[in-house]
Amino acid sequence: MTSLTRPAAWLPLAAAGLAVAALAGLPFLTLAPNRLVPGAPVGCGLPGAAAGALAAGAAVLLAGQARSWRARAALAAALIAWCVLLVGLGHGAAGLLAGQKPAARAVLGSGAWLALLAMAGLAGEAARAILPRRGGLAATLLLLGLTVLIAWAGLLDSLSLAVEYRARADAVAAAVMQHLGLSGASLLLALALSVPLALLRLRDGPAARLVDGLVSGIQVVPALALFAALVAGLSGLLALVPALRSLGLAAIGPVPAVIGTAAYLALPLVSGLAAGLAAADPDVLAAARAIGLTPREVLLRVRLPLGAPVLMGALRVAAVQSVGLATLGGLVGAGGLGALVFEGMAQFAQDLILLGALPVIGLALAVDAGLALLAGTGEQPA
């Protein structure tokens, strides 16, 4: 049987307290005449009370003496509370919309969001008590699977977010693919630029200081300023060399988005790559040179294998950042999920913003978890 790791007692109690307070004092749903105006708050009722009680029970189980059955019971309670909340939201939304005009919307309230976050935290703590190395990933998959099943059963169809998705399902699917393309291209470009810069950074002297100043300086430039500068710079370049347009270069679209995102990825990649390559013990490096290995062989056969955990950590950080930063591509007409987010902001449409933001969060978590499993580091996804 897998050994149990008792979580800190205060964490599950705090999560349960947050869930109860959110359900008791904040809106569970809001009923609005349409998706562009604020709605009237609605309380949680019986589903919220049941979910709060389950959360409190899970917290008490986790805060007690570590036992296998306690962790499993706490995980079951947290998962049931999650389902109760979702079903209660869907049923409550259907009841609110009965007899209303077609444009009326039932929107998730702040209490529901905080309670769902607390339930996810409780499920994660319980799963980590059972599976210390993969508990977080297991809890995420369980919660996602339960949510998909409830949505597939049609129990969430009345929620405004589901209505918005049904109206834009094809656009969301296309935006996800565009977003993956933008983030992947940005990461590849950043890697291509960061590897030589990291090798330069290994050398003490002006070259290392120049690299540090370059990658650090980019981080202090606001995103709007950087993307605006890239658009202006590419416009000037294309005016001077019109033949570049035949290569697919354009001042508006994916090109400035990929370049700008890659620039922001340079700092974690260069720092992580340089740290990984420098992780080898000097005595090991001296021994490798003593047996006649060339600098290239030392790099490939000594530095890379010994620095692999650090290198993979830097790649994970950069990959997750690339998914998030690719959202800024919506500022320069690159499409992706950022276009949905900024369209929602322009219309003050909360659900449209969430329709773009939630997949970004999901993609970032999936990328991090996938790289963690690929690396076999045994670390929890961030």
What is the C-alpha separation between 11 and 266, in angstroms, rounded?
A: 35
**pLDDT confidence tier of residue 66, bands split at 50, 70 and 90:** low
DSSP state of 220: T
State which residues form the domain around 28: 10-161
Q: How far is CA 364 from CA 10, 119, 161, 325, in A?
A: 28, 20, 20, 10
294 assigned to some structural domain: yes
Nearest to 164 by CA among 353, 362, 2, 376: 353
Residue 73 placed within a domain: yes
Residue 1 forms part of a structural domain: no
Q: Kindly state whether residues 151 and 174 are assigned to the same domain.
A: no
Does any domain span residue 320? Answer: yes
Residues 6+ apart with CB under 8 A from 34: 103, 104, 105
| Lowest mean pLDDT segment, chosen from 161-175, 180-194, 316-330, 344-358 | 344-358
The string of pLDDT tens digits covering residues 264-323 is 998 889 888 888 888 877 888 788 888 888 878 887 888 888 888 888 888 999 999 999
We report the CATH number of the domain holding residue 328 as: 1.10.3720.10
**Which one of 108, 127, 161 terminates a domain?**
161
What sign does the CA torsion over 252, 257, 258, 264 have?
Answer: positive
Determine which helix (DSSP H) or strand (DSSP E) holds 147, and give its type and residue range.
Answer: helix 135-152
On average, the pLDDT of the chain sits at 87
pLDDT given for residue 119 in this prediction: 94
Q: Are residues 208 and 351 in the same domain?
A: yes
Comparing 157 with 297, the larger pLDDT belongs to 157
Residue 213 lies in a domain: yes
pLDDT band at 380 (very low <50, low <70, confident <90, very high): very low
Q: For residue 316, with 0-12 CB atoms within 10 Å meaning exposed, 13-18 middle and 19 or more buried, which class applies? A: buried
Q: How far apart are CA 61 and CA 253, in angstroms?
A: 52
Domain count for the chain:
2
> Quick one: pLDDT band at residue 7, thresholds 50, 70, 90?
very low
What is the phi/psi pair of residue 358, to 5°? -60, -45
Domain match, 211 and 333 both: yes
Pair 154, 174 in one domain: no
The helix/strand/coil state of 156 is coil
Query: Token digits for 344?
Result: 């929602």
Co-location of 152 and 180 in the same domain = no
pLDDT band at 57 (very low <50, low <70, confident <90, very high): very high
**CB contact at 8 A, 78 and 55:** yes
Asked which of 161, 184, 217 is the last residue of a domain, the reply is: 161
Q: Classify residue 192 as exposed, middle or buried by CB count within 10 Å of its CB (0-12, 13-18, 19+).
A: exposed
Q: Are 110 and 185 members of one domain?
A: no
Report the alpha-carbon distance of residue 72 to residue 261 in Å, rounded: 42
Task: Tell whether 153 and 207 lie within a shared domain.
Answer: no
**DSSP secondary structure letters along 294-362:** -HHHHIIIIIHHHTHHHHHHHHHHHHHHHHHHGGGGGGGT--SHHHHHHHHHHHT-HHHHHHHHHHHHH
For residues 344 and 350, the answer to whether their CB atoms sit within 8 Å is yes
Token match 């590849």: residue? 188
Give percent of the chain with pLDDT exceeding 90.
43
Q: What is the mean pLDDT of residues 198-223?
A: 81
Q: What is the pTM of this model?
A: 0.84
Average pLDDT over residues 85-100: 92
- Is residue 177 domain-shared with residue 126, that is, in the same domain? no
Mean pLDDT of 221-249: 86
- For 129-142, letters b (16+ CB in 10 Å) and e give bbbeebbbbbbbeb
Residues 211 and 124 grouped into a single domain: no
Question: Is the model's pLDDT at 152 over the cut of 90?
Answer: yes
Cα–Cα distance, 208 to 353 (Å, whole number): 42
The answer as to whether 381 is a domain residue is no
Strand ranges inside the chain, DSSP E: 29-32, 40-42, 105-108
* pLDDT-based confidence at residue 31 (cuts at 50, 70, 90): very high
Residue 9: band (very low, low, confident or very high) from pLDDT cuts 50, 70, 90: low
Contact by Cβ (8 Å): 93, 158: yes
Share of the chain above pLDDT 70, in %: 95
Sheet containing 40-42: give its strands across: 40-42, 29-32, 105-108
Check pLDDT > 90 for residue 158: yes
Residues 243, 361: Cα–Cα separation, whole Å: 39
- CA gap 283, 311 in Å, rounded: 21
Residue 3 lies in a domain: no
For the CA atoms of 133, 137, 143, 148, what is the dihedral angle to 10 degrees? -150
Specify the higher pLDDT residue, 138 or 2: 138
Mean pLDDT, range 259-263, rounded to an integer: 93
For the segment 117-121, the average pLDDT, to the nearest whole number, is: 94
How far is residue 335's CA from residue 257's CA, in Å, rounded to a whole number? 9
The number of CA neighbours under 13 Å toward the Cβ of 19 is 32
Which of 116, 143, 161 is the last residue in one of the domains? 161
